[in-house]
Amino acid sequence: MGILEVKGVNKRFGGLQALGDVNLSIADNVCHAIIGPNGAGKSTLLNCLVGKLIPDTGSVSFKGNSVLGRSPHEINQMGISRVFQTPEIFGDLSVLENMMIPCFAKRDGYFKLNAISDVMAQRDMVEKAEHMLEEMNMANKKDMMASSMSRGDKRRLEIGMCLAQEPSLLLLDEPTAGMARADTNNTIDLLKQIKDERDITIAIIEHDMHVVFSLADRITVLAQGTPLVEDTPENIKGHPKVREAYLGE
């Protein structure tokens, strides 16, 4: 059994069937990519995994426990962390203050924004956040305003903020969308490093095939809300149905 098991998930938006009978098993400690054309249902699927959406039917379990009916916050506490399609950092806080947020969330199970000023005094949280920034290779940027950083660095911070919660499953929704090639390559290197150094499972939705083939151990192709095929990157590359549905050949 995988760390994440999705069985028979359906999700409709009015007359539109966004997900149709999705079955997906993500094995522990792999990087599993979910690819597919725009509108295939990738983000909807991710939203069903983190409690942002509730499937109409089907089941989703993480480490053997159902996530359905739990709030995004509870699911996060279970060990699933998610990076959104657009960076979700606090632009008017410094990089260090941003990194303190998940450190508090991990310790206390919740976070209040107004806690930051009180807590700058709490050395251990500052130290934990600084340590995490060092691991992300961002220690020299800790006093910068988060909004003033490049897209790639914002993403790097956001990924670090997820890791500070010590998740066992990291979900990434198009982490390199809108990035210049150099930032994309830096993000690939960062994710490779995370994969090698941590005891973590990564599920990544990605449009950029260079990113997918650089990182993925398994690939699921989603088309019109239903998994078309799941296989190794080598087999996916040559799969005629995939070339037709996804690469437009």
Check binding of 83 to ligand ADP (CB under 6 A).
no
Q: What angle do CA 243, 248, 249 make, to 5 degrees?
A: 60
Cα dihedral 87/49/52/173 (nearest 10): 20
Of the ranges 40-48, 61-69, 91-99, 132-140, which one interacts with Mg ion (CB under 5 A)?
40-48
Tokens representing 211 are 């990113």
Place of tokens 């699921």: 220
109 binds ligand ADP (CB under 6 A): no
CB of 18 to Mg ion, least distance (A): 11
18 binds ligand ADP (CB under 6 A): yes
Piece of 6-14, 35-43, 120-128, 148-156 that binds Mg ion (CB under 5 A): 35-43
Q: HSE-up of 194 (CA within 13 Å, CB side)?
A: 29
CB of 205 to Mg ion, least distance (A): 6
Using CA atoms, how far residue 8 sits from 92, 126, 225, in Å, is 42, 44, 12
Q: How far is CA 106 from CA 88, 111, 242, in A?
A: 18, 9, 40
Is 116 one of the binding residues for ligand ADP (CB under 6 A)? no
Q: Which is nearer to ligand ADP, 75 or 223 (CB)?
A: 223
Binding to ligand ADP (CB under 6 A) within 21-50 occurs at 36, 38-44
40 makes contact, choosing from ligand ADP, Mg ion, none, with CB < 5 to 8 Å by partner type, with: ligand ADP
**What value, to the nearest 5°, has the Cα angle with vertex 110 and ends 64 and 146?**
110
- Identify what 187 binds: Mg ion, ligand ADP, none; CB under 5 to 8 Å per kind: none
Nearest to 57 by CA among 15, 13, 21: 21
Q: Which does 120 bind (CB under 5 to 8 A by kind): Mg ion, ligand ADP, none?
A: none
Tell me which residues touch Mg ion (CB under 5 A): 42-43
Residues that bind ligand ADP (CB under 6 A): 13, 16, 18, 36, 38-44
